[in-house]
């Protein structure tokens, strides 16, 4: 994309500033921290980082990405460069000498399968809770001031859109922790200008689906004055998403896309991205692929045929050219929340401005993303000027946020009932590509958004059936394994979910939250 060359300097600045912030905040002595001469971006793009990741020393790229150097980055790279060409140099020995390698998560927690799923989840929250960060120097972890919940498994940090669904469950069992989660995200917005994918340096080039406004709604709806506390953060969140690189003008309408500012392999998936690009003939094509892989990760759907030009292969990913329907629905929610908050403040002019922005976006969603032929909301390929013609659960977001017309909601309901409802809940897409955000997998966040969306429009019978199916598979896997999983195979209940770059993870933050919330939504389905 042309945008890359313009943004490389800005991206480097962000990484450098955040490196400075991290060094300052993690210093445990009164000695003033020295200014780093190597940014995290420089480190992730270094020959050393590439060599370490391509050596296959660890199960996946994220393991080494999470490793903590024992030296400042500039000293580490200087040491490597001085030793690498010596005949007796051993890369693995160098890494083990100079890094603390994260160990696989081993919880002392023992599941008691005599407990209900709900009882298990409430007991599990403590295992997934992390205290305010006081981290080692040179760590990639961005410190947070309050307690927070991690998803579980390989995910040792907070994640943006995961946390909304975790908060849904925490509100019912640990409401104070739910608010601390929101405060942590406000802190990230206030200090670095946006919420990164997760609180790691290697996520600093991208965010995730913007659920912050919905988080604020969760903890402020019964105490409206709380909205005012978060107004500066909501303003900055909106400014981030309305940057030129994330907006597209279509027939006078301003709509949004995902866009990661980098054009190199993702640090947490360096080896996987690099190997995928090797068959491409030019550096320009490789950079375009890296940009699309990064942007696909920003969408939270990493990865899905939703983004593939050929509907099947990851190498054809073209997400930077697509206007996602769910993203634009979430930004409608942000505009609505800003309107409400400005009105509470007494700033009626700004309240009206954002009301108009929300209404304009609502109209655009109802027209641009609606496919009259399929009777479903689909992503829009703004380069090809056409719908992507790929139906996924993203098409349920206009119902989740009450944007669809009654007639449109009926069409979505009929599609969901006929093609998406499976024995274990709603399947993510109708394509089986081996990617984790495709068939046969179902994911907790999309069960919630789809079920709530149906319920919003009075399609309660289908919503309840999907809820029953999802709670049943969650209960079955828990009774068999003692675990709550990241995702489930909703089409064949005898098989575990799979696909993607790593094995299925257990914990699991958003699954826990959605199970608790669905039991509250439809109490008769309690298990």
Which of the residues are catalytic? 302, 486
The single-letter DSSP state of residue 458 is T
What residue has token string 């829009």?
380
Contact 177, 509 (CB under 8 A): no
Structure tokens at 32: 């003033």
Q: Pairing between strand 322-323 and 253-256?
A: unpaired
Which neighbouring-strand residues pair with 394? none
Q: CB neighbours of 245 closer than 8 A, spacing ≥ 6? A: 3, 7, 259, 261
Query: What is the C-alpha to C-alpha distance for residues 10 and 246, in angstroms, rounded to an integer?
Result: 15
Alpha-carbon dihedral sign for residues 382, 385, 390, 392: positive
What residue has token string 């699309």?
292
Q: CB neighbours of 58 closer than 8 A, spacing ≥ 6? A: 64, 101
Query: What is the C-alpha to C-alpha distance for residues 39 and 368, in angstroms, rounded to an integer?
Result: 41
DSSP string, 47-102: HHHHHHHHTT-SSSHHHHHTPEESS-HHHHHHHHHHHTTSTT--HHHHHHHHEEPP
What residue has token string 């399947």?
427
Q: How far is CA 222 from the centre of its chain?
A: 27
The single-letter DSSP state of residue 246 is G
What residue has token string 């914990």?
507
Contact 156, 102 (CB under 8 A): yes
Query: What is the C-alpha to C-alpha distance for residues 379 and 258, in angstroms, rounded to an integer?
Result: 12
DSSP 3-state assignment of 193?
A: coil
Phi/psi of residue 441, each to 5°? -85, 145
DSSP 3-state assignment of 155?
A: strand
The single-letter DSSP state of residue 200 is B
Alpha-carbon dihedral sign for residues 490, 495, 499, 505: positive
Residue 130 vs residues 39, 126, 133: alpha-carbon distances, Å? 27, 8, 8
Q: CB neighbours of 302 closer than 8 A, spacing ≥ 6? A: 293, 296, 436, 437, 500
Query: What is the C-alpha to C-alpha distance for residues 310 and 431, in angstroms, rounded to an integer?
Result: 12
Query: What is the C-alpha to C-alpha distance for residues 160 and 164, in angstroms, rounded to an integer?
Result: 8
């Amino acid at each position: 994309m042309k945008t890359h060359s313009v943004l490389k300097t800005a991206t480097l600045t962000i990484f450098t500033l955040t490196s400075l912030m991290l060094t300052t905040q993690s210093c445990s002595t009164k000695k003033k921290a020295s200014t780093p001469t190597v940014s995290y971006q420089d480190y992730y793009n270094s020959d050393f980082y590439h060599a370490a990741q391509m050596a296959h020393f660890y199960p996946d790229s994220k393991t080494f990405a999470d490793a903590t150097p024992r030296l400042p980055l500039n000293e580490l790279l200087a040491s490597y460069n001085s030793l690498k060409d010596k005949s007796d140099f051993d890369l693995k020995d160098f890494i083990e000498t100079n890094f603390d390698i994260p160990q696989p998560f081993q919880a002392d927690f023992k599941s008691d399968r005599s407990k209900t799923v709900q009882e298990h989840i409430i007991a599990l929250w403590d295992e997934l809770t992390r205290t305010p960060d006081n981290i080692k120097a040179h760590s990639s972890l961005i410190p947070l001031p309050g307690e927070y919940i991690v998803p579980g498994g390989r995910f040792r940090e907070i994640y943006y859109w995961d946390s909304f669904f975790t908060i849904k469950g925490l509100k019912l069992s640990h409401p104070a922790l739910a608010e601390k989660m929101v405060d942590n995200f406000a802190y990230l917005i206030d200090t670095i200008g946006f919420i990164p994918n997760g609180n790691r340096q290697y996520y600093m080039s991208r965010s995730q689906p913007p659920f912050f406004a919905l988080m604020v709604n969760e903890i402020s709806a019964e105490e409206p004055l709380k909205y005012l506390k978060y107004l500066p953060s909501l303003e900055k969140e909106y400014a981030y998403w309305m940057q030129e690189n994330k907006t597209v003008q279509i027939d006078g309408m301003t709509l949004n896309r995902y866009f990661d500012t980098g054009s190199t392999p993702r640090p947490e998936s360096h080896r996987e991205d690099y190997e995928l690009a090797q068959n491409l003939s030019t550096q320009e094509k490789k950079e375009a692929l890296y940009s699309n892989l990064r942007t696909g990760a920003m969408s939270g759907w990493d990865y899905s045929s939703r983004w593939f030009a050929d509907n099947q292969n990851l190498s054809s990913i073209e997400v930077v050219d697509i206007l996602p329907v769910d993203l634009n629905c979430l930004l409608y929610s942000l505009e609505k929340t800003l309107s409400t908050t400005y009105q509470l403040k007494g700033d009626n002019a700004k309240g009206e401005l954002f009301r108009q922005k929300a209404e304009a976006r609502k109209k655009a969603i109802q027209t641009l993303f609606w496919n009259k032929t399929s009777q479903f909301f689909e992503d829009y390929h703004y380069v090809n000027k056409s719908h992507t013609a790929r139906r996924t659960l993203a098409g349920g977001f206009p119902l989740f946020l009450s944007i669809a017309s009654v007639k449109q909601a009926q069409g979505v309901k009929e599609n969901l009932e006929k093609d998406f409802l499976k024995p274990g809940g709603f399947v993510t897409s109708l394509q089986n590509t081996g990617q984790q955000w495709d068939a046969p997998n179902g994911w907790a966040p999309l069960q919630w958004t789809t079920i709530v969306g149906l319920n919003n429009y009075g399609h309660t019978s289908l919503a309840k059936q999907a809820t029953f199916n999802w709670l049943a598979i969650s209960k079955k896997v828990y009774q068999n394994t003692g675990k709550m999983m990241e995702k489930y195979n909703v089409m064949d209940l005898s098989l575990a979910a799979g696909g993607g770059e790593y094995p299925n993870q257990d914990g699991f933050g958003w699954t826990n939250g959605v199970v608790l919330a669905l039991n509250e939504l439809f109490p008769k389905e309690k298990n």
